[in-house]
Structures are given as C-alpha cells and as structure tokens.
C-alpha cells in the first residue's frame, strides 16, 4: 500500500527536492553494499553499517541498539519494531522507510532525511532530530516527549495523536501539519512556523507559542491553559473570546478556524 493510500492525500513534493542533494552521496555509499557480512546480529557488524547502502533491506524486529548508521542509505528499508535505542543515524537517508513501532529513544537523527517515512507508534523520546527533514512523515501515535526538534522541517507531517510533551521545536517548520488530538503540553515553539496547521482537539496546556508564526490554524476543541502563550496580543484575545472554561484555568476553543 502506498503512502498516499494510507493517508488519503498526496505528497508534499519534498522527496524530489532532496533527491538531487543526495544523489552524489548515495552513489558513493552504494559501493559499500558489496562487502560480505554486512548484517546486524554478528559481532562488530553494527560498526560496519556507517555509510552503507542498505536500501530496501529488511531489519524488522532486529536489535540495532547503539548501532553506527551515520550517513547510511536506508531508503525503503523495513525497520518495523527494530530496537534502535541510542543509535547514531546522523545524516542517514531514511526516505520512505518503515520504522513503525521502532524504538529510537535517545537516538541521534540530526540532519536525517525522513521524507515520507512511516514512524507510526515509534518511540522517539529524547531523540535528537535537530535539522531533520520530516516532511510528509507519518508519526501518528508516536512518542516524542523531550525530543529535540529544533530547526526541523516537519511540513505536512502527520502527528495525529502523537505525544510531544516537553519537546523543543524552536524554529521548526510545521506548515500544514496534522496535530489533531496531539499532546503538546509544554512544547516549545518559539520562532516556529505553523501555517494552516490542524490543531483540533490537541492539548496545548503550557505550550509556548509566544514567538511562533501561526496563521489559518484550525483550533476547535483545542485545550489550553493560563500558562499557554500565544503569538501577538490579538491572538490571545481571539482565542480567549472563542473559548469556554472547562476547569479552573483550563479552556477549550469552540470556534473552527483562526486567521
């Protein structure tokens, strides 16, 4: 089943943009795929995976905890349920790979190419995703508590029901992202861009939006608190005027869209 079939929408177009940037590096990596014994589970094998061409390979359910996969070419790889705790994936190409339910706690994914990747139900708590390309990524139900998403590009990402409690998305791009019913408590969004983002039913209690760029957002049923900060004074007034208090210091937006 294609990504479009599963999400019911087309791609954001990011894959074609980044392909040219990676073509030279990917060609160099492919030369490594001819080495024998390039497979996890053998002693020392994990250390050999840095820069390797592992496109389309099946790692589902295997243990790659702490593996060095920096700069590896893993486009289309099957990594469902794989244990990648503390793994080094900096600069790796994981476009269209399947990491559903994978464990990536404390993993280094900074600068990683994750365009069109499946990360549904994945555990990314405490992961380093600084500067990562997360366009059109499926992160439904994923755990991103305390994750570092600074400067990440998560345009058109599906984060429905995801947990981002205490994460840092400073200066991140979240244009047209689907954050319905997401847990955004304590999420830092200073300098982030959220154009046409869908926040319906999300929990934004204590979320820092004070310096974010927020426009044409869908906010109905969004929960927020007195500790939530809003960009510009008119935002605070606009949201409060369309909200009702559901508990002391806790509010819920009743309007459908805010400019």
pLDDT (tens, 9 = 90+) of the chain, 259 residues, equals 444 444 444 444 444 434 443 444 344 344 433 333 344 444 444 446 899 999 999 999 889 999 999 999 999 999 999 999 999 999 999 999 999 999 999 999 999 999 999 999 999 999 999 999 999 999 999 999 999 999 999 999 999 999 999 999 999 999 999 999 999 999 999 999 999 999 999 999 999 999 999 999 999 999 999 999 998 767 888 899 999 999 999 999 996 555 5
Rounded Cα distance between 237 and 246, Å, is 18
pTM of the predicted structure, to 2 decimals? 0.82
At 30, give phi and psi (nearest 5°): -60, -25
Rounded Cα distance between 87 and 167, Å, is 19
Coil, helix or strand for 58?
Answer: strand
pLDDT given for residue 232 in this prediction: 78
Burial 23-33 (b: 16+ CB within 10 A, else e): eeebeebeebe
pLDDT given for residue 258 in this prediction: 56
> Residue 165: which of 107, 131, 126, 138 has the closest Cα?
126
pLDDT given for residue 28 in this prediction: 38
Q: Is 38 exposed, middle or buried (0-12, 13-18, 19+ CB in 10 A)?
A: middle
Residues 6+ apart with CB under 8 A from 248: none
> Residue 219: which of 199, 234, 205 has the closest Cα?
199
Rounded Cα distance between 252 and 108, Å, is 36
The answer to whether the beta carbons of residues 123 and 144 sit under 8 Å apart is no
pLDDT given for residue 108 in this prediction: 98
pLDDT given for residue 259 in this prediction: 53
pLDDT given for residue 236 in this prediction: 86
Residues 6+ apart with CB under 8 A from 243: 224, 251, 252, 253, 254
At 27, give phi and psi (nearest 5°): -60, -40
């Amino acid at each position: 089943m294609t990504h479009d079939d599963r999400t019911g929408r087309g791609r954001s177009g990011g894959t074609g943009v980044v392909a040219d940037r990676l073509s030279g590096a990917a060609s160099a990596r492919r030369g490594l795929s001819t080495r024998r014994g390039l497979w996890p589970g053998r002693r020392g094998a994990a250390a050999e995976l840095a820069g390797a061409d592992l496109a389309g390979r099946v790692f589902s359910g295997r243990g790659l905890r702490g593996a060095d996969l920096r700069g590896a070419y893993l486009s289309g790889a099957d990594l469902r349920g794989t244990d990648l705790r503390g793994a080094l994936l900096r600069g790796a190409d994981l476009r269209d790979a399947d990491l559903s339910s994978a464990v990536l706690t404390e993993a280094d994914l900074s600068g990683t190419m994750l365009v069109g990747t499946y990360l549904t139900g994945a555990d990314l708590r405490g992961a380093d995703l600084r500067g990562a390309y997360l366009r059109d990524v499926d992160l439904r139900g994923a755990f991103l508590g305390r994750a570092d998403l600074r400067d990440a590009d998560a345009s058109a990402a599906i984060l429905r029901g995801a947990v981002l409690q205490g994460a840092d998305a400073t200066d991140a791009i979240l244009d047209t992202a689907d954050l319905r019913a997401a847990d955004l408590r304590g999420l830092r969004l200073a300098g982030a861009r959220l154009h046409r983002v869908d926040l319906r039913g999300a929990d934004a209690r204590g979320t820092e939006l004070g310096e974010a760029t927020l426009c044409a957002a869908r906010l109905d049923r969004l929960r927020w608190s007195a500790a939530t900060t809003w960009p510009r004074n008119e935002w605070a007034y606009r949201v409060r005027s369309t909200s009702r208090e559901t508990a002391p210091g806790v509010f819920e937006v009743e309007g459908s869209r805010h400019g």
